[in-house]
Structure 1
């Protein structure tokens, strides 16, 4: 059977929204079909089982959260210094704010992975690849900071974004610019 890639992407985007709105327990083929506005049974034709679906949703989330090539090129036209690293961190926050559902879905998938070893393996590979891509990008772009700094910033930003999305009143009284600058200073010196 030939698969329609546009429909597959629409189903994955619908799954992201279902995860963000209803959590992992609400992620059913029926819910995905309804959210995508397709006939019942469509999602089950594209995804053989729940672990495959969730693994592909995680990959789709990373695609949705990636910066545009234009944005990266625009940033790389600037001096490769601490200020550029701060700019990249603010861009991550901006993309998280714009794609709240993607981050919430990622959180749900990570929680579900604690109970499903096959899913944990798939998500571990996806996240590990993402970290390695970030490290390589930093090195190849000549940005300040070594591997450890990039990994520290990755984990710090994930934590900050999760707090902003789940408990915004915890972060609200803080000056976000100062916080991001302090994180970058501590990571890259």
Structure 2
């Protein structure tokens, strides 16, 4: 998916917008709130993103791209370790804990994804991003010598989304154990079969 040019100022505004949503929900996302969070003069955000719709769309694309980049890096690391399922699980848990340690990215994604049920533009952004993530996961399963298919990769992505949501709703001190337990069961079921196994 082509990405809009991300100038330093645009990135500053979108990072601030992400923090605004994480702290105040999508209802709190205004141009003025973003300017305040970014420490910029009033009118800065609207100079780049004139409407609320433009701001939401740019933020959705920004969040989706950051998540996709993280998942692609994880996929490269997993592929490098071949068929080591324990290593794949540990690296996946490490990324999830990184996201949970600074949850603005996840919270903003969830807020915007829910809004996508009422906004076709947002829905389209996340549908495209989801399709690309599923392709990355399927490629990773194939390279690791696991049984793979589009449906299997889609199921794994959906299940991992659920694990992240479940972890996000738990106290910070419980998240690590919860992730380890869920990922052991989930990745063992969906990644353990070798290609051609019956």
1:110 paired residue among 110, 113, 122: 113
1:121 pairs, out of 121, 124, 127, with 124
Residue in structure 2 matched with residue 130 of structure 1 by the alignment: 133
**Which residue pairs with 1:150 in the alignment?**
153
Q: Does 1:97 align with 2:100?
A: yes
Quote the residue 2:196 is aligned against: none
Whole-angstrom distance in 2 between the partners of 1:15 and 1:167: 25
For 1:1-189, list aligned pairs within 5 A: 5-65=7-67, 66-67=69-70, 75-139=78-142, 141-147=143-149, 148-168=151-171, 175-188=178-191, 189=193
RMSD in angstroms over aligned alpha carbons?
A: 2.8
Q: Distance in 1 between matches of 2:73 and 2:128?
A: 27
Provide structure 1 residue ranges, at least 5 long, that are not aligned to the other structure: none
Aligned partners of 2:167 and 2:25: how far apart in 1?
18
Contact 1:55 1:123 in 2 (8 A): no
Q: TM-score normalised to the size of structure 2?
A: 0.78
TM-score by length of 1: 0.81
Shift of 1:88: 3.7
Task: Provide the C-alpha distance between the structure 2 equivalents of 1:36 and 1:131, rounded to a whole number of angstroms.
Answer: 34
Total equivalences in the alignment = 185
